[in-house]
């Protein structure tokens, strides 16, 4: 653990103007507040914030960030308050500590709630000050280093999984590759202990067998470049065990089949020298086609810049080589943290966190915790490609992105109105996968809408969240239109005309926000007619029976006395259908239509010949209706249901695509003739392209 004077000396070494007294005060404050608290390792608790602060000094971060690291657990785990910290260390430090504290509290929530809420608050806090993330990443890294002291295997695995899913990708996205690699390695050890032991063992075996081969290759590379007049540093390393395991899993190969275990880095004086070095290496050794990547001319979204290539050395040994300047190397390893070093004057690095703004928009559009987790994990994981607008604006997208993803990346409104695309001047389908350097022109149309089918090919979380939100809004409006028609039919049954005042009162009595929410509840069959009537005119529903009591009177002939029955939900038989019964031992008889496809699965059941009773009426029928995608069609269909006195029990949109929408509707009908009249009316309507009973 760093001693007080050692920590202060570290800060002063790169920031001579740092306030030594304030740093000392923060160190003493955290030691006093944590007092005799212990960690799982048995070490004093204050050793943890001190180590996190030490990690901040490794990155040469500003004084406020170092003090935040020292104080980040005091509010959560001691009697310290944000107000006290602000009084002693200033408003900037207090705000940073408050941001980290809120994240720490979220980690103690129940797991299902915590995952989504952690992300939501995390991204919002980061959008205000990225240093919150830098401290949190260092906090998580040190906790991972001591994870083995936690006795509960389940808790270790939970923390490791969260680290692998969230924190390591975030470290990568801000360019902190050293943090990312160590987090992945420590999490990998907990999540896949057998694979971890096998791969690390094989790497150790290779080291013992091949001795100084890595050093020999590094020397050969340096000599080849020196002969070309280039001043370089070269060193080699083994590939990261987790990256080896991931490659084995993706390619379905064994360790022995992985050929490029070794990787080498070449540091040059300038970007021009990087390209010269690349040419020398490609002429000295055979290069592997398809493995060259230029991240200097087109940097990654986190600012990463380097040339990547792969070569075949002696004895067919493959090796990866990364070529960069020394300045690029520092930025590549420490990412956005480099932009917060004291010498930068605290300039906020907005230019390299466009992906973070996308995450904030996803947070606003996601419907629930599951969607939020899906969309955000998509946004922080993927490899990137680069595509251009016709005017030359560059947009970075995940690999596999389509013109729809591109459109939403440019602007949400452009994505919503997209109807076609030109890629490099050629008309192409919206589902076409984009490639590096593509010029993409989006063809739009006013009043166009996102299509549900787009979810089958978009890859960005931003696009998926926006599409789902638009589809939900469209479906909500259409179901509310059905509810309006059904509401009018209910209102016609009341003795007096219903005005706006009565509707507002009904909205309030039923606990809805507004009239549209009421209509949506009626359209989605969440309210019964009696409930609506009573809310509009209290006392008016007295004596009005429930629809099932009023309309249903079903009897079945052919059953053994005392044996119960149910109407099958697969075929929804109604009086007038030819029917048959299936009976399994110990169960009631299940009534099916004679042509139900599910009968093929009832070979082992007892079959019972059945007929409807003479006065049977009232059952639930299901219809599928395909509507034209234009305003008012769903409302027109709702009018058909109301005119034919069919109560809507359930309505579900099963397909939402231009130019049609498909719905499945459960209706309370009297009998087969009643259901047939409704289907005929739907087929005769200009609103419907198709209608059929299911």
Please list the active-site residues: 76-77
Rg (CA), the chain: 33
Measured at the CA of 120, the angle between CA 118 and CA 125, to 5 degrees, comes to 90
**DSSP label at 167?**
I
Structure-token match 């070269």, residue found: 234
User: At what angle are helices 461-492 and 354-365 packed, to 10 degrees?
Assistant: 20
Measured at the CA of 186, the angle between CA 185 and CA 191, to 5 degrees, comes to 95
Tokens of 17: 């103007």
Q: Which helix (H) or strand (E) holds 103?
A: helix 91-106
What whole-number distance in Å separates Cα of residue 682 and Cα of residue 104? 57
**DSSP label at 494?**
S
Tokens of 153: 């295997």
Residue 305: phi and psi, rounded to 5, are -135, 130
Q: Which helix (H) or strand (E) holds 226?
A: helix 213-227
Q: How many residues does the chain have?
A: 694
| 688 closest CA partner among 626, 622, 641 | 626
Q: Where are the beta strands (DSSP E) in 14-107?
A: none
What whole-number distance in Å separates Cα of residue 436 and Cα of residue 385? 5
Q: Which helix (H) or strand (E) holds 4?
A: helix 4-14
Structure-token match 């999984």, residue found: 161
Describe the strand order of the beta sheet including 384-388 as a list of residue ranges.
Answer: 394-398, 384-388, 438-444, 418-423, 426-428
SS3 594: coil
Strand partners, 660: 628, 657
What whole-number distance in Å separates Cα of residue 458 and Cα of residue 246? 24
What whole-number distance in Å separates Cα of residue 604 and Cα of residue 314? 69
User: Strand 565-567 and strand 589-593: pairing?
Assistant: parallel
């Amino acid at each position: 653990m760093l001693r007080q004077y050692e920590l202060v000396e570290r800060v002063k070494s790169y920031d001579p103007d740092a306030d030594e007294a304030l740093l000392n005060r923060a160190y003493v404050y955290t030691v006093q507040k944590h007092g005799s608290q212990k960690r799982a390792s048995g070490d004093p608790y204050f050793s943890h914030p001190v180590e996190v602060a030490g990690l901040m000094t490794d990155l040469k971060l500003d004084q406020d960030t170092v003090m935040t690291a020292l104080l980040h657990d005091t509010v959560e785990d001691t009697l310290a308050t944000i107000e006290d910290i602000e009084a002693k260390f200033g408003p900037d430090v207090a705000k940073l500590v408050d941001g980290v504290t809120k994240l720490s509290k979220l980690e103690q929530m129940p797991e299902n709630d915590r995952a989504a809420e952690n992300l939501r608050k995390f991204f919002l806090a980061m959008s205000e000050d990225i240093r919150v993330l830098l401290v949190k990443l260092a906090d998580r890294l040190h906790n991972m280093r001591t994870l083995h002291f936690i006795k509960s295997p389940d808790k270790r695995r939970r923390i490791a999984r969260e680290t692998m899913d969230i924190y390591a990708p975030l470290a990568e996205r801000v360019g902190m590759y050293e943090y990312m690699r160590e987090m992945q390695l420590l999490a990998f050890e907990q999540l896949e202990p057998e694979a971890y032991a096998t791969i690390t063992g094989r790497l150790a075996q290779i080291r013992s067998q091949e001795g100084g081969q890595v050093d020999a290759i590094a020397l050969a590379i340096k000599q080849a470049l020196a002969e070309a007049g280039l001043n370089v540093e070269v060193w080699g390393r083994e590939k990261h065990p987790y990256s080896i395991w991931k490659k084995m899993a993706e390619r379905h190969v064994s360790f022995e089949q992985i050929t490029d275990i070794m990787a080498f880095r070449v540091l040059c004086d300038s970007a021009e020298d990087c390209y010269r070095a690349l040419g020398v290496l490609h002429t000295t050794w055979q290069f592997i086609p398809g493995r060259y990547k230029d991240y200097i001319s087109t940097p990654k979204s986190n600012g990463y810049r380097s040339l990547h290539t792969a070569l075949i050395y002696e004895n067919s040994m493959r090796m990866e080589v990364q070529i960069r300047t020394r300045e690029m190397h520092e930025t590549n390893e420490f990412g956005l943290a480099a932009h917060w070093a004291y010498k930068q004057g605290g300039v906020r690095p907005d230019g390299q966190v466009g992906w973070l703004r996308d995450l904030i928009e996803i947070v606003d559009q996601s419907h629930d915790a599951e969607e939020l987790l899906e969309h955000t994990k998509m946004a922080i994981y993927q490899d990137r490609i680069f595509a251009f607008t016709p005017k030359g604006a560059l947009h970075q997208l995940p690999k596999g992105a389509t013109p729809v993803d591109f459109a939403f990346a440019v602007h949400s409104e452009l994505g919503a109105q997209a109807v076609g695309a030109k890629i490099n001047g050629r008309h192409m389908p919206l589902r076409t996968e984009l490639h590096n350097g593509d010029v993409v022109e989006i063809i739009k149309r006013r009043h166009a809408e996102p299509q549900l089918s787009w979810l089958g090919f978009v890859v960005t979380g931003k696009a998926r969240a926006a599409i789902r939100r638009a589809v939900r809004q469209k479906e909500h409006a259409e179901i509310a239109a059905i509810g309006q028609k059904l509401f009018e039919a209910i209102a016609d049954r009341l003795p007096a005309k219903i005005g706006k005042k009565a509707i507002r009162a009904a909205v309030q009595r039923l606990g809805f926000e507004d009239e549209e929410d009421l209509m949506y509840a009626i359209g989605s069959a969440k309210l019964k007619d009696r409930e609506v009537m009573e809310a509009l005119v209290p006392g008016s529903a007295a004596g009005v029976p429930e629809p099932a009591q009023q309309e249903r009177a079903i009897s079945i002939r052919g059953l053994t006395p005392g044996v119960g029955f149910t109407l099958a939900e697969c075929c929804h038989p109604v009086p007038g259908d030819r029917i048959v019964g299936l009976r399994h031992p110990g169960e009631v008889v299940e009534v099916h239509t004679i042509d139900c496809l599910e009968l093929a699965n009832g070979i082992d059941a007892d079959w019972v010949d059945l007929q409807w009773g003479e006065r049977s009426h009232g059952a639930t029928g299901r219809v599928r209706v395909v509507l034209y995608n234009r305003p008012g069609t769903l409302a027109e269909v709702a009018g058909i249901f109301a005119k034919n006195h069919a109560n809507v029990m359930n309505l579900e949109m099963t397909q939402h695509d231009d130019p049609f929408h498909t719905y499945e509707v459960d209706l309370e009908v009297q009998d087969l003739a009643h259901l047939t009249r409704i289907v005929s009316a739907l087929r005769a309507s200009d609103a419907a392209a198709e209608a059929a009973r299911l």
